[in-house]
Chains A and B, each alone.
Chain A
Amino acid sequence: MSQTNLPAVNLLKDRKRRIRRQQVIFAKVQLMAGVILAIYIAILGILLSVRLLVSRNLASVEDSISDEKLTLSQLKPVESLYTVVVNKASLLADYLEARAEQRNNLVNLYEKLPEEVLITKVTYEDQDRTYETDLITQDMYSVLDLLNMMEASIEDKSYRVIQIDGLGRDKDGTYIVPAIFQLGTNTGENGTI
């Protein structure tokens, strides 16, 4: 049997194909790794650039802050002046809001009393805004007028509380009514007798 008549068998063909496939995979893997590395380096570069940018901005803002602080330190006398004015104005506002108008309050108390009723003693306490009074009158009708006046004063909220501490009559026929008148707050409150 002659060898030349046998069909040719190329045993290297399959192996070459495998090698070629492996080379393709090799190239792809290298490429992918390269691309991933490039992307990572790009990200790192961007990150470093951002950091640089932020650092520069921060330094620039800090410089501006230093400049502003320098200018403000030169304006300190004006600020000090302004602070004193605001503080004193605030105190004045507190005072104006809290002060009781003594003149008007005393005149109002007097004007509200019936004509026949006299005040012999007034003690005013600003802390609880009360007038402790000794009222006298010569007749019982004036006492009734006084009680009516007290009711009316509570209704029109002139006083928060009106308290009668007693009703007496002297030997000479003088009626004595010790009474306390408490002013309401500026916000207004319901009164009681």
Chain B
Amino acid sequence: MALSNSNLSAADIEMMKVSWRTWVFPVIVFIFIAASAVLVLYPQYQEIQTKRTELKAAETTLAVLKEKRQFLEALNEDQLKDQRARLETIIPSSKPVYSFVTALTELSKQSEIIIESYTLKPGELATESAEAEETAAPQEVEGGPGQFSTIPIEIEVTSKFSQLVHLFELIEKMSPLVEVNGYDLTGELGSAQKLWELGNLTSEDLKTALILNLYWSLRPVQISAIDQPIVKISSREEAAMAKMDQFEEFLGDGIAIPPQVDYQRENIFTLP
């Protein structure tokens, strides 16, 4: 049975109003919270998560950078320069043709062998400096910057066995690094008395064709990225550096290079 307003008393109307008003505020609160949660709360939460991730990554980077800085600050620059200079003589950054030829002359003197002939093919030479070459055309070398490159050398020598053994001994400690890659030795090697121990092994001299590898290496062009941890020297590398003293530069008298002639003009094909 439908009730008309006329049947409701003022008190009933008041009660209904009270009942309706009861839920206005909670509904507004609910709508506000729901809308705010979607539009403000959740994006803020996501933002915090992102920032926290960024913060963690930044803290890790900072720790790496701090460690790297402390490590680099603790290094002795003068000592490093000495080590580099020593290593440069053992593994040069440019093709060590001159130092090798000088050393070879000295080696033949020290081991008393006769060098019949030698051939080496150094390829393109650095015309400016090692630094200029390493940045100019690092692809041209077989190993690339920071890796070994080799210059093959063929040498023919005539010697006694003891002299050849001495030559091998000298080559093993030669600076720049040289390795015997192969050899072909002919001659009568050996006797009932093993006379080589006395320094006079054979009745005839041995002929040996040696194939050597002369090592060099371009300097690494790039250092590690600034936020990358520094590659610390390993015990293996430290052990190798401790053995640097066993390598010797056979400088001797060197090769006499004639003094530069001053032609008084830049282009010799131009009349003065």
- The residues of A with any CB-CB pair to B shorter than 8 Å are 12, 15, 18-19, 22-23, 25-26, 29-30, 32-34, 36-37, 40, 43-44, 47-48, 50-51, 54-55, 57-58, 61-62, 64-65, 68-69, 71-73, 75-76, 78-96, 99-103, 106-107, 110-111, 113, 115-127
Q: Are A102 and B233 in contact (CB under 8 A)?
A: no
**Option from A88, A90, A111 in Cβ contact (under 8 Å) with B88:** A88
Q: Are B22 and A82 in contact (CB under 8 A)?
A: no
* Chain B positions within 8 Å of A19 at CB level: 11, 14-15, 18
Q: Are B23 and A29 in contact (CB under 8 A)?
A: yes
**Option from B29, B54, B62 in Cβ contact (under 8 Å) with A33:** B29
Minimum distance in angstroms from B69 CB to a CB of chain A: 5
Complex-state Cα separation, A30 to B27, whole angstroms: 10
> Per-position contact with A for B170-194: 1 when CB-CB < 8 Å, else 0?
0110000101111111111111111
Given contacts A71-B69, A124-B182, are A87 and B146 in contact (CB under 8 A)? yes
**Option from B44, B61, B73, B243 in Cβ contact (under 8 Å) with A47:** B44
Given contacts A18-B15, A68-B66, are A80 and B189 in contact (CB under 8 A)? no
Given contacts A85-B83, A87-B220, are A65 and B192 in contact (CB under 8 A)? no
Q: Does B25 contact A (CB under 8 A)?
A: yes
**Option from A12, A22, A54, A78 in Cβ contact (under 8 Å) with B22:** A22
* Chain A positions within 8 Å of B47 at CB level: 51
Given contacts A37-B32, A58-B51, A88-B87, are A51 and B44 in contact (CB under 8 A)? yes
* Chain B positions within 8 Å of A125 at CB level: 182
Q: Are B84 and A85 in contact (CB under 8 A)?
A: yes
Minimum distance in angstroms from A120 CB to a CB of chain B: 6
Q: Does B265 contact A (CB under 8 A)?
A: no
Complex-state Cα separation, A37 to B27, whole angstroms: 11
Supply 9 A–B pairs (Cβ within 8 Å), ascending by A.
A25-B22, A54-B48, A58-B58, A79-B223, A91-B147, A99-B179, A103-B165, A118-B190, A119-B185
Complex-state Cα separation, A113 to B226, whole angstroms: 59
* Chain B binding surface SS class: helix
Complex-state Cα separation, A50 to B26, whole angstroms: 28
**Chain B interface extent, by class:** 35 or more
Which residue in chain A gives the minimum CB-CB distance to B50? A54
Q: Are A91 and B15 in contact (CB under 8 A)?
A: no
Ranked nearest first, the 6 interchain pairs of A and B with the lowest CB-CB distance are A93-B240, A68-B65, A88-B87, A103-B168, A89-B237, A33-B26
> Per-position contact with A for B185-209: 1 when CB-CB < 8 Å, else 0?
1111111111010000000000000
Q: Are B146 and A93 in contact (CB under 8 A)?
A: no
**Option from B36, B182, B187, B244 in Cβ contact (under 8 Å) with A92:** B244
Which residue in chain B gives the minimum CB-CB distance to A105? B168
Minimum distance in angstroms from B29 CB to a CB of chain A: 4
Given contacts A29-B23, A68-B65, A75-B72, are A110 and B189 in contact (CB under 8 A)? yes
Q: Are B190 and A58 in contact (CB under 8 A)?
A: no
Minimum distance in angstroms from A88 CB to a CB of chain B: 4
* Chain B positions within 8 Å of A123 at CB level: 182-185
* Chain B positions within 8 Å of A81 at CB level: 77, 80-81, 84
* Chain B positions within 8 Å of A18 at CB level: 15
Q: Are A62 and B58 in contact (CB under 8 A)?
A: yes
Which residue in chain B gives the minimum CB-CB distance to A86? B233
Within 8 A of A (CB), among B112-168: 146-148, 161, 164-165, 168
Q: Are B62 and A65 in contact (CB under 8 A)?
A: yes
Minimum distance in angstroms from B197 CB to a CB of chain A: 9
Which residue in chain B gives the minimum CB-CB distance to A83? B223
Given contacts A73-B226, A93-B240, A124-B182, are A58 and B55 in contact (CB under 8 A)? yes
